[in-house]
Structure 1
Amino acid sequence: MKIKNIVFDFGGVLVDWNPRYYFKEYFNDDEKMEYFLTEIAQTEWNEEQDRGRLLSEGTEIQVKKFPDWEKEIRAYYDNWTTMLRSDIPHNVEVLKKLGKTDYQLFGLTNWSEETFPYALENYDFFKLFDGKIVVSGTEKLIKPDPKIWHILLDRYKIHANETVFIDDNPKNIEMAKSLGFETVHVTPETDLEQELIDLGIKF
């Protein structure tokens, strides 16, 4: 089947987001920082905001659970923009090249509805998606729930077997494969352009 569509995840693929960019300096103690990020402000907690829970609600829930860490928990979303360090230039260049082709470009991201507008405003490359972006916080669903891929497919009338899905999370890659997508699992070492060429994408 000929590939017609290319779907990008954002965090870890096109943008470099990591809470350590703020908390490394805040704590000045790597061990304490890692404890905070694994035991207090866990990935699972942040994912609930990506699933659509209000940042304020998520913050209050965690402050009640861990009152001794109130200052740090409140600092998390207050300093969220510092955690969004930059784009990932080599992958953004691939996206820009694709923007000059006939492939349809889409975004499918786990991202809070409240913070995503900041990224849209501050990174021009998002314009290449022409608004064809499915945001977990808006849909109240997060990857790897298959329902969020079905929202993408149904909304834009595309087919999985004509689509490449690009993500840095192995669980999301496995789910996309099971749904019939071609996939590229991005790591820091990935040559994204070459991976897409290997799938038959023409630049």
Structure 2
Amino acid sequence: MQHIKNIIFDYGNVIFEIDFKITQNAFAQLGITDIENFFAHKGHNQLFDDFETGAISPAQFREGIRTAADKPELTDEQIDNAWNSLLIGTMQENHDLLLKVKDKYRTFLLSNNNEIHYNWIIDYLKTTFKINNYDDYFEKAYFSQHMKLRKPNTNIFEQVLKDNQLDPAETLFIDDSPQHIEGAKKVGLNTLLMTEKPAQLESFLKSNGII
């Protein structure tokens, strides 16, 4: 990839491991049925899109879960625990790797996220790695709930390109979701579908000629 000067990284299942099945099971235990249509890797209820774009608050998201489960008695803690069960973690080696990649390319983070997950992740980073956020690891970190936009819609990619005056022909986007890859291609980005676990990020980048 000799022509690549910039890299936009996804977060979940690229840098940080997540597991949709765990949260599917947790939601099912709360009483939600038809879980594959309600919440899955390649599609989900509108509730999640709204939360990831900041269109609804955490309180409104929790009410949506109570409605879906038909259990108004569910506590905030029960809902947050089920929702956060998705989040597995990352490793210091990936943070070191990101700094190495940043020395060679302009790097950015672009994550579909939400306030509950974001707060959990920031607390986890502080507790586990003694870092406050990802400001040192990327030129800029973008999160959907702050941008009011989400992948795979082309406007979120266009915003990152415009903000940083990036040429899409010189920019690589790495994500684990095929639908996000397709959205990135529509704006002319080079793409790589992450097919390994985050623990194999370094070998994935090496095998694709990035480092």
8 A Cα contact 1:113 1:135, kept in partner: no
SS class of match (1:115): helix
Corresponding residue to 1:64 among 55, 64, 67: 67
Residue of structure 2 equivalent to 1:187: 195
Cα 1:23–1:189, aligned 2, differ >3 Å: closer, same or farther? closer
Residue of structure 1 equivalent to 2:12: 11
SS class of match (2:173): strand
Residue of structure 1 equivalent to 2:124: 122
Q: Which runs of 5+ in 2 are unaligned?
A: 126-130
1:108 and 2:116 equivalent?
Answer: no
How does the TM-score come out when normalised to structure 1?
Answer: 0.76
Cα 1:76–1:62, aligned 2, differ >3 Å: closer, same or farther? closer
Cα 1:26–1:143, aligned 2, differ >3 Å: closer, same or farther? closer
1:66 shift after superposition = 4.0
SS class of match (1:129): coil
1:165 shift after superposition = 0.4
Number of equivalent positions:
198
Residue of structure 2 equivalent to 1:87: 90
Cα 1:103–1:131, aligned 2, differ >3 Å: closer, same or farther? closer
**Which region of structure 1 is more displaced relative to structure 2, 81-90 or 148-157?**
81-90
Cα 1:130–1:200, aligned 2, differ >3 Å: closer, same or farther? closer
- Percent of aligned positions with the same letter in both sequences? 24
1:54 and 2:52 equivalent?
Answer: no
8 A Cα contact 1:24 1:33, kept in partner: no
Q: CA RMSD in A?
A: 3.5
1:77 and 2:75 equivalent?
Answer: no
How does the TM-score come out when normalised to structure 2?
Answer: 0.73
8 A Cα contact 1:21 1:85, kept in partner: no
1:94 shift after superposition = 4.0
Residue of structure 1 equivalent to 2:174: 166
Letter of the 2:13 partner, please give it. Answer: G
**Which region of structure 1 is more displaced relative to structure 2, 56-65 or 134-143?**
56-65
Taking the aligned partners of 1:46 and 1:26, their CA distance within structure 2 comes to 13
SS class of match (2:150): coil
8 A Cα contact 1:23 1:33, kept in partner: no
8 A Cα contact 2:32 2:68, kept in partner: no
Letter of the 1:151 partner, please give it. Answer: Q
Taking the aligned partners of 1:144 and 1:26, their CA distance within structure 2 comes to 24
